[in-house]
């Protein structure tokens, strides 16, 4: 559906009236406190460090998110005990072994002060490598007879800078490996031998190290293992092979699931009920937007033996960042950041930040918008604006604009300086920083010049023509312009107001209505489609119908297959589309039971009937036989 002129006009005007507001992250208010000490104590109890996806206090690999404000105006300052972590939470990992770090938060309000300590461990890069090799390392045969030797690997694929050395508890039976193959001497009596792998980096100065033991049962020549012995040994050695960089705690790529355990032991795999969407019995992985714990069960069997089962718990790691067309999405476990880029993918011109939760089983994404990216098309710059900053700036800016409008109402003559001062206040509301006379005049020409889309333009096409306008023309145009602005403020607040003094008394309501209408606090059904390489190819979101809201308050559009559609912008205005890609701005009556639009200087009206199945029926009041049932379709993120 193409973008209509009305939407451009109305949307641009609302952007001028109020830079978009945001809903609260938590949706709840903190319990009241009576003293600064109580506020500090409550903030201390609630304080926590936010770790990057896949990290925890026991293994930190990425930057920390450290809150600097708590509830009820409590300030929080941080100090780090290590040079590997800055006081702001920026992490530089140790290259070798892990390092213990203490982050200390100091909470203050007024004269009250307290501290809270967070011990954590920075995961050394070499230590992570040797731990990964330890987890992946397995010996395919843990049971031997006269026909077998044993392979003891000295390295693993993908870890060329890590070496594995072996020792045996009985070198007379299992000797040191030669080219990874250890010789086996058959004992007089069946015996268990322990072989130990020592895993460490190849670098001489590296200190990271770990080890892993395997118990190998070596049978005497006249003592062959039973089927149950083979099954038990196969179960001991059975392991999942993870892709490079993966582990049980973080699976991003397909698994290799063994189909046999040696000694003719067969292995079959099953995935716990309800988790097949993320991991199939053959090991194919599909990632989601949050961690997905999955339990796999291997059943080991052999003829004449009793089957045994072994379980493996893995976590399918979330997709944290991807780009669809010109929009980039980043999920860090607590905050969703959505950024729109230009066609060159270099300049950001839009975006939003959300607190979010994921219900992966039902594919539900619940968001509460916390910030938006305010882009100045004229200055080609932008900035992130939080809700609190916006409320303060907009309350001040709208108040200044309304005061200027009150001053100009009835003023005669209206000078060029008056007009510039009025639009300077408007530019402040829109977040502009360059407020020189020339910039303001250029703004007037682009927004309200003779070639603009506003219905009350100043009769000028450039700054020179604006400077030459007579005062009577300025006065008449400003009067029409302020009347239009008054009407728009009234539409925005949905409260009947007749003058600027009444507007001033309702600024709070105007701001709250703009917040409710413009910012997303919604539940979306989502769908992720990935290509064969696992990269995100499509990300589809659609809001659910919210039963707690009226039909016209839903975030979305009502439409049918015949290309009739109705989109609401609050209680008073909307957009009506008919076949042929034609759109009309509409006005609803006070009961929201009908709407009217103008076509070729003629008004047309349609009635609205709300149906029990969440559809609406619109009927042409000029031709009552013409009616259409429209079904709700949710909007996208």
Kindly state whether residues 559 and 490 are assigned to the same domain. no
Kindly state whether residues 151 and 119 are assigned to the same domain. no
Q: Confirm whether 454 is domain-assigned.
A: yes
Residue 443: strand pairing partners? none
Over range 116-125, report the average pLDDT. 96
Judge contact between 125 and 95, C-beta under 8 A: yes
Q: Confirm whether 12 is domain-assigned.
A: no
Q: pLDDT tens across 161-202, in order?
A: 999 999 999 999 998 887 788 888 989 899 999 999 999 999
Judge contact between 14 and 518, C-beta under 8 A: yes
Which pLDDT band, with edges at 50, 70 and 90, does 494 fall under? low
- When divided into structural domains, the chain yields a total of 4
Q: pLDDT tens across 457-491, in order?
A: 788 888 898 999 999 989 988 888 888 888 777 76
Q: What is the model's pLDDT at position 455?
A: 57
Kindly state whether residues 106 and 173 are assigned to the same domain. no
CA 88 to mean position of chain CA atoms: 22
Kindly state whether residues 467 and 499 are assigned to the same domain. yes
The domain boundary residue, chosen from 443, 474, 505: 505
Residue 375: strand pairing partners? 382
Q: Is pTM beyond 0.85 here? A: no
The domain boundary residue, chosen from 66, 98, 123: 123
Q: Confirm whether 252 is domain-assigned.
A: no
Q: pLDDT tens across 522-564, in order?
A: 899 999 998 877 789 999 999 989 898 889 988 899 999 989 9
Kindly state whether residues 146 and 106 are assigned to the same domain. no
Kindly state whether residues 434 and 492 are assigned to the same domain. yes
Q: Confirm whether 457 is domain-assigned.
A: yes
Q: What is the model's pLDDT at position 277?
A: 93
Q: Confirm whether 198 is domain-assigned.
A: yes
* DSSP per-residue string spanning 142-179: SEE-TT--EE--S--TT-TTEEEEEEES-TTTEEEEET
Q: Confirm whether 522 is domain-assigned.
A: no
Judge contact between 281 and 271, C-beta under 8 A: yes
Q: pLDDT tens across 63-72, in order?
A: 999 998 888 8
CA 261 → CA 132, 192, 238, 461, distances in Å?
A: 22, 19, 6, 82
From 238, 237, 233, 229, select the one nearest 305 (Cα to Cα).
Answer: 229
Kindly state whether residues 207 and 157 are assigned to the same domain. yes
**pLDDT reading at 1 higher than 50:** no
The domain boundary residue, chosen from 452, 483, 505: 505
Q: Confirm whether 352 is domain-assigned.
A: no
CATH number at residue 217: 2.60.40
> Is residue 600 helix, strand or coil?
coil
Over range 316-324, report the average pLDDT. 92
Kindly state whether residues 110 and 128 are assigned to the same domain. no
Over range 299-304, report the average pLDDT. 96
- The boundaries of the domain holding residue 566 are 546-634
Q: Confirm whether 4 is domain-assigned.
A: no
CATH number at residue 626: 2.40.128
């Amino acid at each position: 559906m193409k973008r209509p002129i009305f939407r451009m006009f109305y949307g641009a005007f609302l952007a001028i009236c109020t830079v978009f507001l945001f809903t609260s992250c938590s949706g709840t208010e903190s319990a009241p406190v009576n003293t600064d000490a109580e506020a500090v104590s409550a903030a201390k109890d609630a304080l926590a460090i936010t770790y990057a996806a896949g990290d925890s206090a026991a293994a930190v690999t990425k930057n920390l998110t450290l809150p600097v404000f708590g509830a009820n105006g409590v300030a929080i300052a941080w100090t780090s005990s290590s040079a590997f972590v800055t006081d702001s939470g920026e992490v530089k990992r140790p290259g070798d072994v892990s390092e213990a770090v203490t982050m200390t938060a100091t909470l203050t309000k007024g004269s009250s002060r307290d501290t809270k300590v967070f011990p954590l461990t920075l995961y050394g890069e070499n230590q992570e490598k040797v731990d990964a090799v330890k987890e992946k390392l397995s010996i395919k045969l843990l049971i031997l007879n006269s026909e077998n030797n044993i392979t003891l690997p000295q390295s693993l694929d993908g870890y060329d800078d890590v070496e594995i050395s072996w020792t045996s508890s009985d070198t007379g039976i299992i000797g040191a490996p030669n080219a990874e193959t250890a010789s086996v001497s058959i004992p007089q009596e069946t015996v268990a031998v322990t072989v130990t792998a020592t895993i460490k980096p190849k670098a001489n100065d590296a200190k990271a190290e770990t080890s892993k033991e395997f118990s190998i049962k070596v049978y005497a020549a006249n003592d062959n293992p039973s089927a149950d012995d083979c099954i038990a040994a196969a179960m001991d050695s059975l392991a999942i092979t993870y892709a490079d960089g993966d582990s049980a705690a973080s699976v991003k790529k397909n698994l290799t699931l063994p189909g046999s355990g040696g000694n003719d032991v067969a292995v079959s795999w099953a995935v716990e009920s309800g988790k097949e969407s993320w991991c199939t019995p053959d090991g194919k992985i599909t990632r989601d937007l949050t961690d997905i714990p999955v339990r796999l069960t291997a059943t080991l069997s052999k003829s004449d033996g009793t089957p045994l089962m072994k379980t493996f718990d893995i976590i399918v790691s979330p997709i944290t960042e991807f780009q669809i067309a010109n929009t980039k999405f980043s999920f860090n476990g607590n905050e969703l950041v959505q950024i729109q880029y230009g066609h060159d993918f270099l300049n950001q011109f839009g975006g939003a930040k959300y607190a979010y939760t994921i219900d992966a089983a039902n594919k539900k994404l619940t968001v509460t918008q916390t910030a938006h990216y305010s882009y100045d098309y004229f200055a080609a710059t932008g900035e992130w604006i939080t809700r609190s900053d916006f409320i303060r700036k907009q309350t001040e800016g709208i108040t200044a604009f309304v005061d200027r409008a009150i001053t100009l109402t009835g003023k005669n003559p209206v000078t060029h300086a008056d007009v510039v001062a009025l639009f300077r206040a408007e530019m402040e509301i829109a977040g502009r920083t360059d407020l020189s006379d020339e910039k303001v005049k250029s703004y007037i020409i682009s927004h309200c010049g003779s070639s603009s889309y506003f219905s009350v333009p100043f009769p000028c096409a450039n700054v020179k023509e604006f400077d030459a306008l007579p005062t009577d023309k300025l006065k008449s145009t400003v009067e029409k312009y302020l009347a239009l602005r008054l009407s728009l403020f009234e539409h925005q607040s949905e409260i009947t107001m007749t003058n600027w003094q009444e507007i001033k008394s309702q600024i709070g309501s105007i701001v709250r209505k703009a917040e409710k209408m413009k910012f997303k606090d919604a539940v979306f059904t989502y769908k992720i489609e990935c290509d064969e390489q696992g990269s995100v190819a499509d990300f589809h979101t659609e809001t659910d119908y919210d039963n707690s809201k009226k039909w016209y308050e839903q975030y979305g559009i009502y439409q049918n297959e015949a290309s009739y559609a109705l989109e609401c912008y609050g209680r008073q205005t909307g957009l009506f589309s008919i076949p042929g890609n034609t759109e009309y701005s509409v006005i609803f009556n006070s009961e929201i039971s009908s709407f009217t639009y103008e076509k070729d200087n003629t008004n047309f009206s349609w009635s609205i009937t709300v149906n029990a199945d969440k559809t609406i029926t619109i009927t042409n009041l000029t031709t009552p036989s013409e009616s259409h049932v429209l079904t709700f379709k949710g909007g996208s993120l």
